Amino acid sequence: MAGIITEVPFPTYPDGFPPDVIEEFTAITGKQPLGNKPASGTEIIAELGDEHVASGRPILYTSADSVFQVAAHEEVVPLAVLYDWCERARAMLLPPNNVNRVIARPFVGTSGKYARTPNRRDYAIEPPPSVLDDLAGAGIPVHAVGKICDIYTGHGITSSVRVVDNDDAMNQTERLLRDLEHGLVFTNLNDFDSKYGHRRDVRGYASALERLDVRLAELLPHLRPGDGLVITADHGCDPTAPGTDHTREYVPYIELGTAAGGDLGTIEGLDQIGKRLTSLFLSKKVAGSSRR
């Protein structure tokens, strides 16, 4: 979305992480991790949560994506400690084990009733220069809502706000649109992925879509002449598909406000968004423009 083309795939671990990675991570945490396998985040917490609480050993898991995920109960491993473990894991995961993201996955609750909290943190690999850097260099503020700042490790980001759910993200987006004269608001609505897509919760997904329709109707009046709105996704997460990983269907691309109108057909590549941002903010940039 930020115009970066990844030529070399990030490593994935369908059989878990190799012994040398486990040994290094054990040296960081002081205890050998539990799990070390691809898994659903909620399912592995249900499976290993009791053992984690009893032993203090972190739960380590991955997925079909290039991720190194560390789950820990907030009353067993304080958040500051979990974040420190993940920051140090990020630093240790060098090529050929340079995973795309290290993710801290805190949870709370008791046996049989464990639940993840909004205190997730993502530690991404440093990205190459992107459209966000270009915008910042041109004096155009970029305001991140949700985990966007984590994904791009702060590159080109003027301000960032964390959110607890989709409604909170939409509230923050509306606030920014009311207050901003110029700039890009980059919002992530993570509930579709983490709460409903991966969980294969069809009814929850449908309800979240209906709720988004309502929130978009509330958002549109805040758009001024010259403003643009793009609604899209970074991957599929079909709640009717088997398994818990991301899925491969096409994603939507809906643009309002600045487009001439019409069917764009099938677009090849998420970098369409990066190209469009360049066109809207940089290629036609004029002094005193109030474009958002």
| pLDDT exceeds cutoff 70 at 246 | yes
In the predicted model, what is the mean pLDDT of residues 11-18? 97
Q: Are residues 233 and 97 part of one domain? A: no
**Domain stops at, among 72, 99, 124:** 124
For residues 28 and 48, membership in a common domain is answered with yes
What is the tens place of the pLDDT at every residue in 86-109?
999 999 999 999 999 999 999 999
Considering the entire predicted model, what is its pTM?
0.81
Of 100, 124, 148, at which residue does a domain stop?
124
pLDDT tens for 259-282 read 677 888 998 888 889 999 999 898
- Tell me if 36 sits within 8 A of 16, measured CB to CB: yes
262 domain residue, yes or no: yes
The helix/strand/coil state of 244 is: coil
Element (H, E) at 254: strand 253-256
Q: Do 104 and 234 fall within a single domain?
A: no
Residue 12 lies in a domain: no
DSSP class of residue 196? Answer: I
| Each residue's pLDDT tens digit, 190-211 | 999 888 988 899 999 999 999 9
In a domain, 191, yes or no: yes
How many C-beta neighbours within 10 Å does residue 45 have? 24
**Residues whose CB falls within 8 Å of the CB of residue 103, separated by 6 or more in sequence, listed in order:** 67, 68, 69, 70, 86, 120, 121, 122, 123
